[in-house]
Amino acid sequence: MPGVDEIRAGIALSKEKANASVAALQQAAQALEEAQLSLAQATSGSSQPEVGQAHGMFAEALQGITGTQSTIQAAISAADSYSARL
């Protein structure tokens, strides 16, 4: 079994990778928001059902990213809690 220092180092590396993933997800969310805005500008005034569907899917994808970021943050917090008890 690894020692306390090794466990803490592993947790620190895990947190670093998790924080990087949160940043990448933030970039993805920003790109999706830009895509949604471009779609809105290009389809302004359209009443076609596909346009509404596309907007809804973009919104759903953004909610998914937000939820994933929250889950990752909770995992980081749990790892921090464990590390603090070592």
- The pLDDT tens digits of the residues spanning 26-71 come to 999 999 999 999 999 999 999 999 999 999 999 999 999 999 999 9
DSSP 45: T
**Mean pLDDT score, 70-77:** 98
The C-alpha atoms of residue 56 and residue 66 are separated, in whole angstroms, by 15
- Of residues 34, 27, 59, 28, the one with CA closest to residue 51: 59
Q: What residue ranges do the domains of the chain occupy? A: 4-85
Question: What is the length of the chain?
Answer: 86
Neighbours of 41 (CB within 10 A): 8
Structure tokens at 18: 């998790």
Query: Is the Cβ–Cβ distance between 4 and 86 less than 8 Å?
Result: yes
pLDDT for the residue 44:
93
pLDDT category, 2, cuts 50, 70, 90? confident
